[in-house]
Structure 1
Amino acid sequence: MTKPLSAPPHYDVVLAGGGIIGLCTALFLREKGLSVAVLDKGRPGYEQSSRNWGWVRTINQAMEELPLALASRPLWQHWATEGDFGYARTGLLSLAQDQEEWNALENWLAAARHHGFDARELGRSEISALVPQSRGQWAGALYSPGDARAEPDLAMRFLVRKAEAAGVTILPDTAVKSIDIQGGRACGFETETGRISASSVVVAAGIWSRWLCKTVDIVLPQLKVIASVLRTEPVDGGPDPIIASSRFSLRRRMDGGYTVAQRNSSITYVTPDSFRFLREFMPNFLKQKKLLSVRIGSSFVDELRQERQFGKGRPNPFEQYRACDPTPDRKTLARTLQRLREDMPMFEKTRVAAMWAGVIDVVPDALPILSPVARYPGLFVATGFSAHGFGIGPASGKLMANLIMGEPDTLGHEHFTLERFGCNGERTQAR
């Protein structure tokens, strides 16, 4: 914990959450000349922002998010000239295992063509030429040569340094306990070390955003999903493009190893919020149920106990949760690695160097919330990226900065409003 504040400092903007969205927003606000502080209950970037797969992709992005993905490309490329965090435009190859998957990829490409980017269809011979290591009989593939990879942990360290060099005040180990509302307006945060005031405040706290919004009776429909990942020791002669498939996904790392995961292996545990937001989440769940495993465990009782500590006028002990570090699903990772070895025998004797898991914040339609909060002027929310935040983080931060400044936006903020869920009208008190 940082030392108690001697006097309540004031900034133009204060953000709760030092992940990629919070830091990118802070950077673009500083470019506009504003004074900015970023608060994090632990170490900035320690949670999902540094645990993701490290893809900077366009393929299979929702149509509403595609402008953010395309606008993030040149920002990532420029930042890569300022620091080495493993950024490389190696392309992404999305493989279809069967005709059903191939039809889905073709339908996506048909819908995305008007954005004018570089994804194209590949047949079996072209797949073999691009990835000769694979012996799978794929039904087809999409390839985007402009998609890229990066090391998430190194990228987050780079962004912290860049933000500090730009004049952003970063306060780690400073848990935000509640949003400060005075006269019907958001005017700062109450932290474990005291109050910090601001003209605008931003909740960019990932999976913790729901509970923080709850401190001022704002309902944010958000659930948690756990995704597991492994990395291998270095492998000679492996594929260079990012590989995405329903059997396995992988990307080459700076150290010569590979990050390996499976896109349809995420886990969500039944919690009180699962029932509370059942109506909002059910339509998308039914469409995407093949990608998610629903489990019952101690999480229901644990979260029921925890959520009773959070809310308006409650203790809100965020300082008890400095780091979210879930146990990886080793069985699923072992199965995924076996599938990779079956397709690419060169991985047969490759050893696993590490396994980890991260908790992803998801919202009902899997689109981010990048939005002012109508009830409280000065309050903004940037969360709910549903596993897409790393790649689109730069442009999302730019969009948020424009919203806060009241400047024109060309990246589709109308798709990302909090109001689209209709959770803060007459039904608010019931939640």
Structure 2
Amino acid sequence: MGRAVAEYPLGIESLMLWQDLKTRTGRDTGFRRSGIVYAAFPGARLADTDGLMTADDGRAEPSLAASALAEAARDAGAVNLNNCAVRGLETKAGRVSAVGTAQGVIRCDGAILAAGAWSRLFCANLGIDLPQVRVRSSVLRTAPAPGGPDMALGNGRFGIRPRADGGYTITRRGRVPVQLTCDLLLQSSRFARGLVRNRREIAVTVDGSRMQDLRTPRRWQTDRPGPFEQDRVLDPDPQRRTLARAWRDVVRVFPALSGVPVVESWGGIIDVAPDGVPVIDEAPGLPGLVIATGFSGHGFGLGPGAGQMAAEIATGAATLIDPAPFRIAPVRTTQAGRTTSWPVHVPANAVTPGAENFLYRATIPLNWTPVRSAV
């Protein structure tokens, strides 16, 4: 729910994979089939008495799931390199042959770029103009508290989900801050339609990211420290006024949460694609590199399916779903068979060495239409 139609098959597969991860990894990911509700809000296509509920949707705990997957990968023979920035790629006979890092060169037959909001910058050094912008987001969590919702819930003002520790994770919905940078202006033709269509849901903001964008090089030598060693983590300060408004709206809807302490807040950067649908595809003009990015805030839920499909593309295996909607191409199919134009510029010298959803009406409880669920 709350996703592009093109993501539905990947969401359904990911939901099933989430269900089995505890067994496969031998560790708790915090996954629960707890359901989610989208309430009606101004500007939505639903009437004031309408909402959407996915009774069999699920949620997991990022802090548990990330550690569980990393430890399971290590148990299977993977090597996790912490605090080690990637500088670039080396090629041989026109395809990826090695990854250059701050700790040395790693020889390989292929690589997967899953760098989130860093992906566009990394691709720029390869001569690949990947369409992507950065959206700033802020989140808070509360202490354990009784009396709140049992399901995750989203409306036009806030999103709230129960946590395994008994508290809640809360964020502001609507008027999402899009960072105004030179890079955004360079991509204005790609994102103009989306910005106009969603103008009531976004707010173009000017902050320190504009100066950081100007200071960040678009090209660098891979045998020297690069931008990913200068800024290792995209960790902006939380937008406290935005979170304060979200918290007031939550307490107004759920008075039982009044007085519950807010124990932590944090900020982050979301990688957003022009049509909101991620890229999971081999890089144009560079065999051996698979790009998985642009998840537009859906990456955690789609992670298991997206990770499996990226690995399948990298190894030449059959993919768990049709990869066509996730290809990076000048034109790709999206919702309901429509197409979206992506002017992806790849210069000639690109390869450089070195349970069900229910639509329900509060006034007529039996008037519902089941549709397929997604994470």
Cα distance in 1 between the residues matched to 2:28 and 2:291: 30
1:297 is displaced (CA, Å) by 3.0
Cα distance in 2 between the residues matched to 1:266 and 1:153: 24
Q: Which amino acid aligns with 2:9?
A: P
1:314 is displaced (CA, Å) by 7.4
Say whether residues 1:281 and 2:225 are aligned partners.
no
* % identical aligned pairs: 35
Q: Which runs of 5+ in 2 are unaligned?
A: 331-341, 351-375
Cα distance in 2 between the residues matched to 1:322 and 1:298: 17
Give the secondary structure class of the aligned counterpart of 1:89.
Answer: coil
Instruction: Tell me which of 59, 64, 72 is aligned to 2:14.
Output: 72
For residue 320 of structure 1, what is the aligned residue in structure 2?
A: 230
Give the secondary structure class of the aligned counterpart of 1:195.
Answer: strand
Say whether residues 1:292 and 2:202 are aligned partners.
yes
Cα distance in 2 between the residues matched to 1:245 and 1:322: 34
Say which is worse superposed, 201-210 or 383-392, in terms of deviation.
Answer: 201-210
1:317 is displaced (CA, Å) by 3.3
Contact 2:120 2:130 in 1 (8 A): yes
Q: Which amino acid aligns with 1:72?
A: S
1:403 is displaced (CA, Å) by 1.2
For residue 3 of structure 1, what is the aligned residue in structure 2?
A: none
1:412 is displaced (CA, Å) by 2.7
What per-residue deviation string (whole Å, max 9, x for no partner) do you get for residues 196-240 of structure 1? Answer: 111111111111111211222111111111111111111113211
Write 1 or 2 for the structure with the bigger share of helix.
1
Instruction: Tell me which of 46, 50, 67 is aligned to 1:140.
Output: 50
1:310 is displaced (CA, Å) by 4.1
1:315 is displaced (CA, Å) by 5.0
Give the secondary structure class of the aligned counterpart of 2:304.
Answer: helix
1:424 is displaced (CA, Å) by 2.4
For residue 120 of structure 2, what is the aligned residue in structure 1?
A: 210
CA RMSD across the alignment: 2.1
For residue 190 of structure 1, what is the aligned residue in structure 2?
A: 100
Say whether residues 1:103 and 2:13 are aligned partners.
no
Say whether residues 1:271 and 2:214 are aligned partners.
no
Q: Which amino acid aligns with 1:412?
A: D
1:426 is displaced (CA, Å) by 5.9
**4+ aligned runs moved over 3 Å, structure 1:** 308-315, 425-429
Q: Which amino acid aligns with 1:361?
A: D
Contact 1:214 1:311 in 2 (8 A): no
Say whether residues 1:368 and 2:278 are aligned partners.
yes
For residue 351 of structure 1, what is the aligned residue in structure 2?
A: 261
Cα distance in 2 between the residues matched to 1:166 and 1:231: 33
Contact 1:211 1:311 in 2 (8 A): no
Contact 1:223 1:361 in 2 (8 A): yes
Say whether residues 1:93 and 2:37 are aligned partners.
yes
Contact 1:217 1:312 in 2 (8 A): no
Instruction: Tell me which of 329, 336, 340 is aligned to 2:239.
Output: 329
Alignment CA distance shift 1:311-1:212 (3 Å): farther
For residue 27 of structure 2, what is the aligned residue in structure 1?
A: 83
Say whether residues 1:422 and 2:343 are aligned partners.
yes
Contact 2:217 2:227 in 1 (8 A): no
1:321 is displaced (CA, Å) by 1.6
Cα distance in 2 between the residues matched to 1:313 and 1:258: 45
Say whether residues 1:155 and 2:76 are aligned partners.
no
For residue 78 of structure 2, what is the aligned residue in structure 1?
A: 168
Instruction: Tell me which of 153, 168, 171 is aligned to 1:258.
Output: 168
Give the secondary structure class of the aligned counterpart of 1:275.
Answer: helix
TM-score normalised by length of structure 1: 0.74
Q: Which amino acid aligns with 1:163?
A: A
